Amino acid sequence: MESLLQYLVVSIALFAIGVYGIVSKRNALRILFSIEIIANSAVLNLVVFSKFLPMVNITGQTFALITIAVLAAEAAAGLALILVAYRIHKDIDVFEMKELQG
C-alpha cells in the first residue's frame, strides 16, 4: 500500500539536491539544471496531492500541465540568455558576470 509520505520524501530529496546545486555551482548551465530539478519536485508534489485527496479531484494534474508549459518557456529564455552571456564573455561562470553589480 502506497502512502503519501514516501512520495513527499522523494520530492524533498530532489528539492535539497537542487538547492545544493544552486548554492555551490558556478556554471550557469548547472544552475539551470538545478532549477529544473527543483521545479520537477514541485510538479511531482502537485500530482501526488491530486492523487491522494479523499475525493476524485483532477485539478492538481491540470496545474501540473500548466506548470510544465511555463517551465518550457523559462528554459527557452534562460538558455538564450546563457548563449548571449557566452558570446559576450566567452565564459559562463556566474562569478565573472558582475556588470550589474556596479
Partner 1 sequence: MADISFLILTVMAVSSAILALESKEIVYGAISLMSMLMSMAGFFILLDAPFVAMFQIIVYVGAVAVLILFTVILVKREKWIKTEVSGLRAAGILSGLILAFSFGLLLLQSNLGLIYANEKDSSFVDIGIQLISEYWLVLEVLALLLSASLIGALTLAKLEKEN
Q: Closest CB to partner 1 among 74 and 102?
A: 74
CB of 102 to partner 1, least distance (A): 22
Count the Cβ atoms, other than its own, within 10 Å of residue 2. 8
Q: Closest CB to partner 1 among 1 and 101?
A: 1
Q: Which residues have CB under 8 Å from 48's CB, separation 6+? A: 4, 7, 8, 11, 60
- C-alpha span between 23 and 20 (Å, rounded): 5
Q: Closest CB to partner 1 among 69 and 101?
A: 69
Residue pair 40/17 in contact (Cβ under 8 Å)? The answer is: no
CB of 45 to partner 1, least distance (A): 11
